[in-house]
Amino acid sequence: MLYREAGQFKATYAEDSQIFPIRQDRIGIALILAVAFVGTPLLSVAGLLSDYTFTAILTPFLIFSLAALGLNILTGYAGQLSLGTAAFMAVGAFASYNFMLRIDGMPILVAFILGGICAAAVGIVFGLPSLRIRGFYLAAATLATQFFIVWCLTKVGWFTNYSSSGVITAQKIEMLGYTFDTAFSKYLFVLSVVTVMALLAKNMVRTNIGRSWMAIRDMDMAAEVIGFRPMQTKLMAFAVSSFYCGVAGALFAYAYLGTVEPEGFNLDLSFRILFMIIIGGVGSILGSFLGAAFIVLLPIGLNMFMHFLEGSVGINLPSGISSSIELMVFGGLIIFFLIVEPHGLARLWQIGKEKLRLWPFPH
Amino acid sequence: MKFINKALVAAAFATAALSASAQEQFFPALSYRVGPYAAGGTGFFGGVIDYLSLLNAQGGINGVKMTWEECETEYNATRGVECYERLKKSRGGATMVEPLSTGIAYGLLDRVAQDKIPMTTLGYGRSDAADGRVFPFVFPLITSYWNQAAGMMKYLGDKEGGLEKLKGKKIVHLYHDSAYGKEPFAVFEAYAKQYGFELIKLAVPHPGNEQQSQWLQIRQAKPDYVILWGWGVMNAVALKTAQRNGYPSGKILGVWWAGSEEDVIPAGSAANGYTTMTFNTPGNYPLLDEIKKKVYAAGKGNLEDKSRIGSTYHMRGVTAAILWTEAVRKAQEKYGKGKVMTSEQVRWGFENLNVDEARLKALGAFGMMPPVKTTCLDHEGSGAVKVQRWDGKSWKAVTPNWVVGDKAMIRKMQEESAAKYATEKKITPRDCSKEG
């Protein structure tokens, strides 16, 4: 009843082709954005939300969502399995750092975009094998990206400005004379970037480009027959996906960690992001956010819950046991969700939406 | 009237005592007890908690009890940052922080400066953080990678009968192919140039479970020494492969992350006679007996396996906790005995540490660690290392005294690197002559 679109008539072509065609969705998105941009600042002023929420929960969640979104474009929409996500993030972070360092007065946003473009260029080069190989074999080929980039960043001193420890230290985020240095301002900065890029992605997957990706994903032979050029389409997917990952990597370095080492962008991180889209939903923008929430926030929640249990109930577990229990519960939950809904959390939401449409009269 | 006065005074004292006992010095423990590095994490944080428990059993620092809370980081930078943010304000605020993970330490570098919470990085992290003018809140206590590398050269030189005798020798630097393995390059190269030995650098890609080609190269080069700058599984594999290729383990000198029981036991007999660097002298000390007697006998010990008491990582944790609590004690001397110190006051304590031999004797840890004396300029405080040898059952110290490399050269490198960091970050270094 709440979610019924009956009575919403579309009189113009523009209305028919808007990003969120259902009014309830538009209201929902507007509400989420309002809470994210206006609600949280009010709560933080009121003292209900601390810096902890912004810097330790929301900022990493948004950054990982963006990275998952990047991978989802490549894997979910264009059907190219990749294990090089962390490497593209590293390229974005290290390229942005060098643009900021070597060009005086470089605006930070331009540096991020240039960093993303560098990642896109690397993505295109390492996407070339996708023209010949598919599926798991391609995943193995993208592993090369992962190892090559991390090796290259440690090997060539220039990338880290010959830092003796082989690390880069992100410069301050400054725009129009304002320095984003508090937890909250960094959160707003990340939120703005992620919002714009997520809306762009949502729009992009409905355009000709997005449709060509999906055609290639579903059956590349058929896509070729109906006139999509596989080389351009696949490389485009690699470029756009790497661009997103690159910007996510730059945000990871600038708005979150501050100092990063190439090893920070290792294979583990690539796998984590791959798990995010598998659990969240392959081929879904919303799924990227849900998956990031699951992988980033759930372990933290479990940890807090265990601490709470130990504190309030007074059970004193031997050290190390609670950490192991957390891991077991986390693993159990992953298996549970994959059994209940193999297509990810986004699919659960879609099913819920369809049920809501009919509710309360299902027949 | 007199009686009432007395009663009032007594009551005042009682409340003062109560409020004092309610106040506790809080240490967040960013530990990792699961995952691939759990062996190090359980040992180190076990040692830390054991020592803090012992201090509490002895009545705390001038009556102030220690308290701590663990948070599982899984050695993961994101989790570690979250733990730090969660714990930094709990129970009256964190005294200091020690993540025992390079990735997490980098993630906290800017945060600790903003929150004014001191961070110690014992034996890892940025070597140039020893320059306290640029890094006021970071303390790479005892030794950094660079001083360790210089200590290695000094030890090998002494073994030959003087550094000049290294001329014409061949030394292989077999390293984990990462920023960590490359960190000592500059030091080794400087020594190689000065003393005229040949330095051969061989990289082992992570994780290092296959090293046949590197050891074939070593066999061809016939080096006089091999420096093993390894991490995790790489260490045991290096020792086994060396044995298979007939390279004597006695000529291999490991870094201190390649020098724990967990590194050599998997290598079996291949590790016998292998030497590594360390900043603790292996052995038993009155302090460890105290821990066994007062903590473990009372059922409060943190290690599940009691045979690990006094193992490399456990002793390293005890050492870290000694330095932390000595910093608190030092701060109390300046800011008021029997009070809970704020993180900024403890930072001052870290900067004015003076754990000399007499103090170590009083603690029952004489010889266990080198004396540490820090200043505003020097946040490292010692730079001394020791060499230990694995005899198949336990580690034994090789060098009776502490080994110190060319500290002046290392200091110059640290200052240059810190100055570069300061210009990149646009930090104005502190003027140490104005610090009290």
Query: Does residue A307 sit at the B interface (CB-CB below 8 Å)?
Result: yes
Please list, residue by residue across A89-123, b when 16 or more beta carbons sit within 10 angstroms of its beta carbon and e when fewer do: bbbbbbbbbbbbeeeeebebeebbbbbbbbbbbbb
pLDDT tier for residue A65 given thresholds of 50, 70 and 90: very high
Distance between CA atoms of A185 and A191, rounded to whole angstroms?
A: 10
At what angle are helices A59-71 and A85-102 packed, to 10 degrees?
A: 120
Please report the DSSP string for B230-284 in residue order: --THHHHHHHHHHHHTT--GGGEEE-GGG-SHHHHGGGGGGGTT-EEEESS--S-
CA-CA distance, A361 to A356, in Å (whole number)?
Answer: 10
CA distance A64 to B427: 30
Kind and range of the H or E run holding B49: helix B38-57
Best CA proximity match to B378, nearest among B405, B404, B400, B352? B352
* Burial (CB count <10 Å: 0-12, 13-18, 19+), residue A201: buried
Cα-based torsion angle of the residue sequence B306, B312, B315, B321 in order, rounded to the nearest 10 degrees: -120
What confidence category does residue A325 fall into, taking pLDDT thresholds of 50, 70 and 90? confident
- Give the span between the Cα atoms of A285 and B436, in whole angstroms: 56
Residue in A60, A169, A264 nearest the CB of B103: A264
Of B183, B149, B180, the residue nearest B254 (C-alpha): B149
Mean pLDDT along residues A262-288: 92
Q: Which one of A49, A63, A164 makes the best mutation probe of the B interface by having the most chain B beta carbons within 10 Å?
A: A164
**Selected residue with higher pLDDT from A96 and B300:** A96
Write the CB contacts of B353 (distance below 8 Å, at least 6 apart in sequence). Answer: B141, B323, B326, B327, B330, B372, B373, B374, B381
- Closest residue of B to A253, CA-based? B107
Q: Which residues of A touch B426 (CB under 8 A)?
A: 172
Which amino acid would we find at residue B357? E
Contact B387, B228 (CB under 8 A): no
Task: Enumerate residues 293 to 312 of chain B having a beta carbon within 8 A of any beta carbon in chain A.
Answer: 302, 304
Work out the burial of residue B179: count CB atoms within 10 Å of its CB; fewer than 13 is exposed, 13-18 middle, 19 or more buried: buried
The whole-angstrom separation of Cα B258 and Cα A303 is 31
Which of residues 113 through 172 in chain B touch A, CB cutoff 8 A? 114, 125-128
A82 with A74: CB under 8 angstroms? yes
The label of the residue with tokens 């082992």 reads: B204
What is the enclosing helix (H) or strand (E) of B27? strand B24-29
pLDDT confidence of residue B389: 94
The Cα–Cα gap between A265 and A267 comes to 7
Q: What is the pLDDT of residue B175?
A: 93
Question: Do residues B129 and B140 make contact, with C-beta atoms less than 8 angstroms apart?
Answer: yes
Q: What are phi and psi of A48, to 5 degrees?
A: -85, -25
Percent of chain A residues past pLDDT 90, beyond the cut: 51
Classify burial at A199, counting beta carbons within 10 Å of its beta carbon; exposed 0-12, middle 13-18, buried 19 or more: middle
Alpha carbons within 13 angstroms on the beta-carbon side of residue B244 total 14
Which domains, ranges and CATH numbers included, belong to chain A? 1-49 (no CATH), 50-358 (1.10.3470)
Query: What angle is formed at CA A259 by the lines to CA A111 and CA B331, rounded to 5 degrees?
Result: 140
Mean of pLDDT values over A101-118: 93
B85-91 long-range contacts (CB < 8 A, ≥24 apart) are B85/A51, B85/A52, B85/A55, B85/A56, B85/B111, B86/A52, B86/A56, B86/A304, B87/B28, B87/B30, B88/B28, B88/B115, B88/B117, B89/A50, B89/A52, B90/B26, B90/B28, B91/B24, B91/B26, B91/B67
The 3-state secondary structure of B89-135 reads CHHHCCCCECCCCHHHHHHHHHHHHHHCCCEECCCCCCHHHHECCCC
Determine the Cα–Cα distance for residues B193 and B190; give it in Å rounded to an integer.
5
Q: Is pLDDT larger for residue B115 or for residue A21?
A: B115
Note the pTM of the prediction, 2 decimals. 0.88
Phi, psi of B177, deg, nearest 5 = -75, 80
Locate the domains of chain B by residue range.
21-143+282-374, 146-278+388-406
Instruction: Report the pLDDT value the prediction gives residue B94, as an integer from 0 to 100.
Output: 92
Say which residue, A8 or A286, is predicted with more confidence. A286
Q: What's the rounded Cα separation, in Å, for the pair A295 and A3?
A: 29
Domains B21-143+282-374 and B146-278+388-406 share a fold: yes
pLDDT of residue A363: 66
Each residue's pLDDT, cut to its tens digit, for chain B (436 residues) gives: 454 555 444 444 444 444 444 578 999 999 998 877 888 889 999 999 999 999 999 999 999 999 999 898 888 888 999 999 999 988 888 999 999 988 899 889 989 998 999 999 998 888 889 999 999 999 999 988 999 999 999 999 999 988 899 999 999 999 998 888 888 988 999 999 999 999 999 999 878 888 999 999 999 999 999 999 998 889 999 999 999 999 999 999 999 999 999 899 999 899 999 999 998 999 999 999 999 999 999 888 888 888 899 899 999 999 999 999 999 999 999 998 899 999 999 999 999 999 999 999 999 999 999 999 999 999 998 889 999 999 988 999 998 889 998 889 999 999 999 998 898 888 899 888 877 6
| Selection from B216, B265, B221 nearest residue B244 by Cα | B216
Average pLDDT score over residue span A336-351: 88
d(CA A261, CA B106): 8
Give chain A positions within 8 Å (CB) of B182: 154, 166
List the structure tokens of B358: 């007499």
Residue A177 has pLDDT above 90, yes or no: no
Chain A residues inside the 8 Å CB shell of B69:
307
A260 contact B CB<8A: yes
Select from B77, B179, B425 the Cβ nearest to the Cβ of A169.
B425
Average pLDDT, chain A: 89
**C-alpha–C-alpha distance, residues B252 and B395, integer Å:** 15
pLDDT tens, residue by residue, A276-290: 999 999 989 999 999
Using DSSP bridges, classify how beta strands B24-29 and A173-175 pair: parallel, antiparallel or unpaired: unpaired
- Determine which helix (DSSP H) or strand (DSSP E) holds B199, and give its type and residue range: strand B198-204
**CA dihedral of A42, A45, A46, A48, whole degrees rounded to 10:** 90
When pLDDT is averaged across residues A123-146 and rounded to a whole number, the result is 89
Is A329 an interface residue toward B (CB < 8 Å)? no
B333: its two tokens: 């001397």
CATH architecture of B146-278+388-406: 3-Layer(aba) Sandwich (3.40)
State how far the Cα of B206 lies from the Cα of B230, in Å rounded to an integer: 10
From B45, B88, B118, B109, select the one nearest B304 (Cα to Cα): B45
CATH classification number, B21-143+282-374, choose in 3.10.110.10, 3.30.420.40, 3.40.50.2300, 3.30.70.420: 3.40.50.2300
Looking at residue A200, what is its pLDDT?
95
Angle at A66 between CA A88 and CA B105, to 5 degrees: 70
DSSP state of B82: H
Selected residues 23-52 of chain A with any CB under 8 Å from a CB in chain B: 50-52
Helix axes A59-71, A230-251, angle to 10 degrees: 170
Instruction: Residue A161: list chain B partners with CB under 8 A.
Output: 420, 424
Beta carbons within 8 Å of B370's beta carbon, 6+ residues apart: B142, B279, B382, B384, B385, B386, B402
DSSP state of B378: B
Q: Report d(CA B306, CA B311) in Å as an integer.
A: 10
Residue A166 with chain B: CB contacts under 8 Å: 178-180, 182-183
